[in-house]
Amino acid sequence: MRDVIPPVPVATVAGMARDPGADLDLSTDVVTLTGDLIDRPSVSGTEGPLADAVERALRACGHLTVDRDGDAVVARTNAGRAERVVIAGHLDTVPEAGNLAARFEGERLYGLGACDMKGGLAVGLRLAATLTDPARDVTYVFYDNEEVAAELNGLGRLARTHPDWLAADFAVLMEPSNAGVEAGCQGTLRVEVTTQGKRAHSARSWKGENAIHAAGEILARLSAYTPRRPVIDGLEYREGLSAVGIRGGIAGNVIPDECVVTVNYRFAPDRSGAEALEHVREVLAGWEVVCTDLAPGALPGLSRPAAAAFLAVTGKPPAPKFGWTDVARFSELGVPAVNFGPGDPSLAHSRDEFVPVAEVRECEEKLRAWLTA
């Protein structure tokens, strides 16, 4: 049954920062829990106290087996169901910008991490605590350091050290998606493309070879490039191959002998990272190409039974995820995944981020219906 709380008046109601390690009450309604979580500081690298509170609250639930690695907490049901699914969300936020405390304005809940992703975190915690006999076995993953460098990411650490903890048929990452399914994600890579020339005095430019001028051919090739729009599981992904930076030049009177163009390729998840890099090398054949960053995408896996059942419950058509998210880490483990959470992703990390109260409730209701059907 849907939780009912009195309507919040339009006037602003201010919250206050609280001890992130204080006990959590997971029996409260999901909106109140979201406000509680917003009021608990958990900037990346300081999630320990909140992870402690999450661990204590989940260990008090007799239907869950709870493990911890660093500041990542993993709780599992073990009812022997035919399918196992993962519900995952990160504990951390970006640094505050005078927006730590929760406050209501009408049907919006404002505060640091409200959108990304204390609302989704509250949904996951509520489900973990209250779904004692789900129709699918569930692994709940609450992890650290999502908002910082990839090598610190708690989900990535779990994938390396305890991949068995993440084994499942399907995964839902509670990233903000306007309470709709954004399936899989595209991969991303960056390369540096270098042109070589010959240095000379600009008063005698004919004695040199201008490396910056030579980069014009690279830019022309990129401008003429037609990106793919492959359809995967009924979703149309849109690739992009774009120059995102250029550097060169020595002095105002010197013909430069080197120029470097930085190129970003956003590629659909039907290509592996190696295939994507090879494609970029083919497009830019004739120049020195060095890869500086590569993160493969994630297949949506919407044909899986658990995914099909989930889509039926949401009642909304899925959309492709063009940006990169941690669903890719599940894909690398052979677990198809989608993004599904309350809040507009375009508001993430902004000073005025908020989450609609209705979307927090909707996400809890939809996931509860799916997990109990």
Q: Which of 177, 185, 181 is CA-nearest to residue 342?
A: 177
Q: pLDDT > 90: what percent of the chain?
A: 83
Q: What are the structural domain ranges in the chain?
A: 13-184+298-372, 187-295
| pLDDT at residue 335 tops 60 | yes
Beta bridge partners of 87: 140, 172
Residue 359 is a catalytic residue = no
Give me the catalytic one of 92, 144, 169, 353.
Answer: 92
Using one digit for the tens of pLDDT, what is the confidence trace for 194-241?
999 999 999 999 999 999 999 999 999 999 999 999 999 899 999 999
SS3 301: coil
> Average pLDDT in the 58-64 region?
97
Q: For the domain with range 13-184+298-372, which CATH number is right: 3.40.630.10, 3.40.50.620, 3.40.50.720, 3.40.50.450?
A: 3.40.630.10
Using one digit for the tens of pLDDT, what is the confidence trace for 136-153?
999 999 999 999 888 899
- Burial 33-65, CB ≥16 within 10 A → b, else e: bbbbbbbbbbbbeebebbbbbbbebbeebebbe
pLDDT score for 7: 35
Beta bridge partners of 258: 196
Using one digit for the tens of pLDDT, what is the confidence trace for 15-32?
567 788 899 999 999 999
Q: Determine contact, residues 232/186, Cβ cutoff 8 Å.
A: no
Q: pLDDT > 70: what percent of the chain?
A: 96
Both tokens of 71, joined, read 């500041």
Region of 178 please: left (phi>0), alpha (psi -120 to 50) or beta.
left
Cα–Cα distance for residue pair 334/26, rounded to 1 Å: 32
Share of the chain residues as helix, strand and coil, in percent rounded to the nearest 5: 30, 25, 40
pTM, two decimal places: 0.84
pLDDT score for 5: 34
pLDDT score for 32: 96
pLDDT score for 16: 64
pLDDT score for 11: 31
Q: Which of 30, 111, 28 is CA-nearest to residue 355?
A: 111
Phi and psi at residue 87, in whole multiples of 5°?
-115, 120
pLDDT score for 240: 97
| Chain-centre distance for alpha carbon 133 | 29
pLDDT score for 98: 85
pLDDT score for 150: 83
| pLDDT at residue 331 tops 90 | no
Rounded to the nearest integer, the mean pLDDT of the chain is 92
- pLDDT category at 301 given cuts 50, 70, 90 is confident
Q: How far is CA 101 from CA 15, 20, 50, 104, 249, in A?
A: 5, 12, 15, 10, 48
> Average pLDDT in the 107-123 region?
96
Residue 146 is a catalytic residue = yes
Cα–Cα distance for residue pair 53/49, rounded to 1 Å: 6
Q: Determine contact, residues 331/2, Cβ cutoff 8 Å.
A: no
Helices (H) and strands (E) in the chain, counts: 9, 20
Architecture of domain 187-295: 2-Layer Sandwich (3.30)
Using one digit for the tens of pLDDT, what is the confidence trace for 278-289?
999 999 999 999
Give me the catalytic one of 47, 52, 116, 146.
Answer: 146
Q: Determine contact, residues 191/262, Cβ cutoff 8 Å.
A: yes
